[in-house]
Structure 1
């Protein structure tokens, strides 16, 4: 069983991902995969070198993220081009890891942890979508506190993503993370029990 996990900035997606992993889910983190596909010696890093030059590669052969960031930060066309170069490699790696997990255990519950699951139209690759939700007012307060941002800065960052209310409408399962951690744990337990039943898994 393959599920997509997403949420909005500062809604607590990473917290819920960790809870699901604790319970036995195979977690495939898109951000981590994106880092792995540009490690030294990878095709991803070579694609970046060919397009952006040796100036974005450090002396030790690793990607210089700061240098690349400066190039693409203010140029949306270049940012899209970088995504076009790396996106197929990221998807291929995620599907490969999913295949390996299911080959080891056909009843495995595989969670794709993808911040832009809905925006990037990746829901087609998963059976169900889990959205970690908090009301936008709570999201705003948490983001301001977590990143020491002004209200205007926080709203700008929230506006860069699909709103959490829109994401909630796409969800098959919603984990409301606006209350205590215990309440979130309880919802994750309920979801996990349902998923293990559906997948035929004998995991505890």
Structure 2
């Protein structure tokens, strides 16, 4: 079984692309879903976060205080590195567990990781990197449609991420998501066939 990393900027359409691959029977393992699961009590990750960041990092219901944490690490590289040091090894371990549970006959699986290029351990685990991209104008429109999002925050988030030209340079395969959903589905179908062919050659 081959493993392909799926990444892209915020609001680029990664979830939609993941869903389209999933509809074709491709297993998709989502690092964000795993992170959310690890943020529910009881959790060794939450215990480590509380020990390092203090009680403010945990909500009254025992889950991760996402809003507080987002603000705390947004402009604080040291705090962000500490959070990643706690979460990333645990997320990677869960990815390995889920990959290990897939049938041996699976041609390939997608692992969706927003920080694929920023986190070397994740990039080292996948054999190819599929990047979903869209124009900054479309990206900003999609972001502004999210509850509580402001123009200033949208710009700050976009500017804090890896430059789109760098993502394109680092990616092995690119899906441009500026068109219609029907067009995107066609592109995913074509890419799926390429991956099936690649997987067959790679495993013989």
What TM-score, normalized to structure 2?
0.83
User: How many angstroms does 1:77 deviate by?
Assistant: 2.3
Give runs of aligned pairs for residues 25-104 of structure 1, distance below 5 A: 25-58=26-59, 60-69=61-70, 72=73, 75-101=76-102, 104=103
Residue by residue, what CA displacement relative to the aligned partner does 1:145-197 show, whole Å, maximum 9, x if unpaired? 556543x5433221111122221122221111111111111110011112223
SS at match of 2:187: helix
Residue by residue, what CA displacement relative to the aligned partner does 1:95-122 show, whole Å, maximum 9, x if unpaired? 2211222xx2343421111111112233
> What residue is the counterpart of 2:106 in the other structure?
107
SS at match of 1:119: coil
Which runs of 5 or more structure 2 residues have no equivalent in the other structure? none
Residue by residue, what CA displacement relative to the aligned partner does 1:34-71 show, whole Å, maximum 9, x if unpaired? 12223222221221232234454455443343454565
| C-alpha contact (below 8 Å) 1:107/1:200 kept by paired residues | no
Partners in 2 of 1:182 and 1:35 — Cα distance? Answer: 30
Would the alpha carbon gap of residues 142 and 68 (structure 1) be closer, same or farther in structure 2, given more than 3 Å must change?
A: closer
> What residue is the counterpart of 1:120 in the other structure?
119
User: How many angstroms does 1:91 deviate by?
Assistant: 1.3
> Is 135-144 or 172-181 further displaced after alignment?
135-144
Q: What number of residue pairs does the alignment pair up?
A: 198
| C-alpha contact (below 8 Å) 2:107/2:200 kept by paired residues | no
Which runs of 5 or more structure 1 residues have no equivalent in the other structure? none
Would the alpha carbon gap of residues 20 and 78 (structure 1) be closer, same or farther in structure 2, given more than 3 Å must change?
A: same
**CA-based RMSD:** 2.6
Dislocated runs of 4+, deviation >6 Å:
none
SS at match of 2:132: strand
